[in-house]
Amino acid sequence: MDHIEQLIRLALDEDVGETDITSDAIIDPQLTATAKIVAKERLVIAGLDIAKRVFHSVDPEIVWDSKHEDGERCEAKKILAVVRGRARSLLKAERTAVNFLQHLSGIATTTSTFVRTVSDTKVKILDTRKTTPGMRALEKHAVLMGDGINHRMGLYDRYLIKGNHIEMAGSITEAVKRVRKNQKTGVLLEVETKTLEDVREALQCGADILMLDNMSVPDVREAVKIVNAKAKLEVSGNITLENITHYAVTGIDFISVGAITHSAPAADIHMVLER
């Protein structure tokens, strides 16, 4: 059983439990129906595949017909998918499938808004590790569907020396030195910096990427001058749609935005059943 299948099983178990007592009481077990999954607002689609897998987990005989693909921009009232099968099965799967689809489409839509806001600059929008436990792969897929870029997937695929590491090592220089002793070939080294003095030290140490954490716009401009394209620059911390453009025009390369995963509102999607 792969990770996504486990996630689906957990989600269905918490919603359906032993059975859907209301549908079982009302609906003949052999009655078939057609369900339309509809966008109630303009959105960027993400999560169609996992929604399909939810229905098939409930009943392998359900027929799923996607009308769009993940990553597509969709207007309100558009049908995302048509699903056919036993009415009881459709209702058992409905909430879990739509929950996944709403959540992931919300992330894709929010990411797309951030990306479009800085589209006149060279800046790329990154996600973070601020994801829902167990759903990181899905949420980072949704970021890609919104034209964002995945930062590291976890603690295992990039060296990122943060403030707590620096505190434990004693300095940026010492932390970098210790990484260099064990650095895996081809794995990037990023250092979090909080002051311009940190920027100078991290640059001197040869970091591939400098994260400018919670710096003011004037300090970011000064950091760009100090680095002078000798390393990539990422801005992070309290980035909003209201202030992102001020940072994007400073000459940096990336802006990481935790809000695109941890605070994206769910997209408005529903399922309508037809006998």
Return per-residue pLDDT of the chain as tens, 275 residues.
699 999 999 999 999 999 999 999 999 999 999 999 999 999 999 999 999 999 999 999 999 999 999 999 999 999 999 999 999 999 999 999 999 999 999 999 999 999 999 999 999 999 999 999 999 999 999 999 999 999 999 999 999 999 999 999 999 999 999 999 989 999 999 999 999 999 999 999 999 999 999 999 999 999 999 999 999 999 999 999 999 999 999 999 999 999 999 999 999 999 999 88
The CA–CA distances, whole Å, from 172 to 32, 158, 162, 193, 206 equal: 64, 17, 9, 9, 11
Pick the catalytic residue: 130, 178, 200, 221?
130
Distance, CA of 162 to CA of 19 (rounded, Å): 47
pLDDT value, residue 169 = 98
Q: Which of 162, 177, 225, 230 is catalytic?
A: 162
Q: Is 152 annotated as catalytic? A: no
180 is an active site residue = no
43 pairs with which residues across the strands? 74
Using alpha carbons, list the distances in angstroms from residue 84 to 30, 98, 274: 13, 15, 10
Full DSSP string of 219-273: HHHHHHHHHTTSSEEEEESS--TTTHHHHHTTT-SEEE-THHHHSPPPP-EEEEE
Q: What is the pLDDT of residues 143-177, one digit of tens each?
A: 999 999 999 999 999 999 999 999 999 999 999 99
Catalytic choice (70, 190, 213, 253): 213
**Strand ranges (DSSP E) for 72-228?**
73-74, 79-86, 124-126, 159-161, 189-193, 209-213
Clarify whether 268 is annotated catalytic: no
Residue 200's identity, in one-letter code, is R
Contacting residues for 45 by C-beta, under 8 A, at least 6 apart: 39, 68, 69, 70, 71, 72, 73, 74, 80, 105, 108, 145
Distance CA 176, CA 128 (A): 22
Q: Which residue type sits at 157?
A: D
- Quick one: how many helices (H) and strands (E) in the chain? 11, 12
Angle at 174 between CA 173 and CA 178, to 5 degrees: 120
Domains of the chain: 3-113+264-274 (3.90.1170.20), 115-262 (3.20.20.70)
What is the pLDDT of the chain when averaged over all its residues?
Answer: 97
162 catalytic? Reply is: yes
Catalytic residue, candidates 192, 198, 201, 253: 192
pLDDT per residue as tens digits for the range 131-148: 999 999 999 999 999 999
DSSP state of 82: E
Q: Is 61 a catalytic residue?
A: no
